[in-house]
Structure 1
């Protein structure tokens, strides 16, 4: 059965990956190879506020990280970070809701804005409200990490709002108990069952009506808008496009060939061409887009000469750059400087 093609869409903020990379860096591990052939560097994951990744890219990085840091509650470490690091603007939106029920509905609707790598649903079953974690794609090596991160971060968020007045009734997990099983009971403070039919965490359904002390409607509305703009699902690009753009951006001064790009991504040139075709792209088009974007920025925001800007974006001659810029935008480079002065 073919996997969902949306798994190749670069729509996921890399907050979870950034947490993993930061742990690896703190422990002195070589994190660079974790990102090999993804087109994204560890530095971009940690510092960029605009980069997004696909599920396929994220899974590749996480598999390598989990192998490099075995038999550790790595998902709990990532999910146990500060709430704002974990949830970002989604956390702000949820904290600003009127009740627990409102926050849960919002969290389910916009959970990808937090960089979530699983799908989550909530249902009321008798006297319990049950939060279930579902794999977005089968990843046997990652299921432990993904459940730890999702459930731990959710529990940390609830605890940050209500303190110790709310606790889970139980946690059930479909995978075998890891070597650090005791850590689960320390973190969640409730019975934990491994080898269960599903991955889920339950609370008393009475919590749904509990009011959020930080409820503020204007903040909620603004934060929801920020989350939706962050997701921008209609403007999603394939991960291969994002990877090529990242590679070309890092090497603007030295023109990168398609063969070099394929080698960087550990695929054949033929495979890369096929992947770009499937995404509705051509290598030359992506390269021109990256060059035009950087050139326009420099023309508007710097005092560099046109000759210098030509070299900055990989042209050996200013004349060649001027012709290309007219082809890209319909205007000569000097037009952007005139527009800025108006």
Structure 2
């Protein structure tokens, strides 16, 4: 895993995924106590629909499974097929109520912290295709194959729940070596995957992804999305020192405000600021990204500032850095986001 703040997957999540993992592990002959070893979670807690667990707890469960069961038998693919839209609660209902599959992708990216994913999803639209890229560089090397398989299979399962019968997948590529037996991949995904590729990606038919969905319901989507917003707000509004740091960052972004400057403004040394933010489960770089993301959305939704002007106001030395960061946050370019925002108004 890389340094510089928390990983993009490091957010709390409903216990649903851990319950699915344990049920699957049991079917593979694994003891429940072995599966939950080191997670600080009791089996009874898996049945509490209100329980929230940390990403680290779920990752420890996955590590236990990979160490016991291995990762070369498409187990992640089999597991991912259990993540139907109902497993995602309000987010699942928001997605299945969208006008199109492409709109559902946008909702999923907007509320990524209500998913169970450990890989980062980036979505790019071409003339005929929509490419969904999965990035796993923030994960421990020995867990990547299993998690990529799980996350991609759950994404496809969710897409089929939303879209119904037509096969939207045109191509499938994995960034790891081919397993001994590839039949499970073709059987589930409906296409023959390519292995040893530069990156993991699934290519969707853009025409199908823009087709109106039969279960589209705008009022239901709005109600479910409101629930999603409430859930995120309840999980982690910034307060205390983190809120103060965010305010200082917002005021000084255009001038390239640094952690050293914020620490001085708060009458402490950088080392103390770093330690106190870590105690709150965050880091300066993460708070700066939060401020930049919020301001970027505001700028793109308001007056027609150019991307170059927005990049400068957010403290980026060049617009390319801002565009790359925005793709990481939203899975698409600032220009594409602006067009969608204008269409929704």
Residue 235 of structure 1 deviates from its aligned partner by: 4.0
Report SS of the residue matched to 1:220.
helix
Report SS of the residue matched to 2:106.
helix
Aligned to 2:93: 92
Residue 213 of structure 1 deviates from its aligned partner by: 0.9
Residue 214 of structure 1 deviates from its aligned partner by: 0.8
Report SS of the residue matched to 1:29.
coil
Residue 163 of structure 1 deviates from its aligned partner by: 3.2
Measured against aligned partners, the alpha-carbon deviations of 1:187-213 in whole angstroms (never above 9, x if no partner) come to: 111131011011110012212320011
Whether the aligned pair in 2 keeps the contact of 1:10 and 1:236 (CA below 8 Å) is: no
Report SS of the residue matched to 2:173.
strand
Measured against aligned partners, the alpha-carbon deviations of 1:119-171 in whole angstroms (never above 9, x if no partner) come to: 21210134210011122623212211222122212222222333332331110
Residue 34 of structure 1 deviates from its aligned partner by: 3.1
Whether the aligned pair in 2 keeps the contact of 1:12 and 1:231 (CA below 8 Å) is: no
Whether the aligned pair in 1 keeps the contact of 2:101 and 2:213 (CA below 8 Å) is: yes
Residue 183 of structure 1 deviates from its aligned partner by: 0.8
Residue 85 of structure 1 deviates from its aligned partner by: 4.3
Aligned to 2:55: 55
Distance 1:210 1:128, change over 3 A: same
Residue 9 of structure 1 deviates from its aligned partner by: 5.5
Measured against aligned partners, the alpha-carbon deviations of 1:165-190 in whole angstroms (never above 9, x if no partner) come to: 23311100001112332211111111
Residue 31 of structure 1 deviates from its aligned partner by: 2.4
Aligned to 2:68: 68
Whether the aligned pair in 1 keeps the contact of 2:96 and 2:216 (CA below 8 Å) is: yes
Whether the aligned pair in 1 keeps the contact of 2:91 and 2:228 (CA below 8 Å) is: yes
TM-score (norm 2): 0.63
- Over the aligned positions, Cα root-mean-square deviation in angstroms equals 2.8
Report SS of the residue matched to 2:124.
strand
* 1:38 and 2:42 matched: no
Residue 236 of structure 1 deviates from its aligned partner by: 8.1
TM-score (norm 1): 0.63
Report SS of the residue matched to 1:61.
helix
* 1:234 and 2:236 matched: yes
Residue 90 of structure 1 deviates from its aligned partner by: 1.6
Q: 1:138-157 residue pairs with structure 2 within 5 A?
A: 138-157=139-158
Q: Gaps spanning 5+ residues in structure 1: where?
A: 238-274, 282-342
Report SS of the residue matched to 2:122.
strand
Larger Rg: 1
Distance 1:199 1:6, change over 3 A: closer
Distance 1:38 1:157, change over 3 A: closer
Q: Gaps spanning 5+ residues in structure 2: where?
A: 240-274, 282-345
**1:166 and 1:69 mapped to 2: Cα distance?**
31
Report SS of the residue matched to 1:123.
strand
Report SS of the residue matched to 1:170.
strand
**2:69 and 2:86 mapped to 1: Cα distance?**
21
**1:122 and 1:235 mapped to 2: Cα distance?**
27
**2:183 and 2:66 mapped to 1: Cα distance?**
19
Aligned to 2:30: 29
Whether the aligned pair in 2 keeps the contact of 1:12 and 1:115 (CA below 8 Å) is: yes
Aligned to 1:134: 135
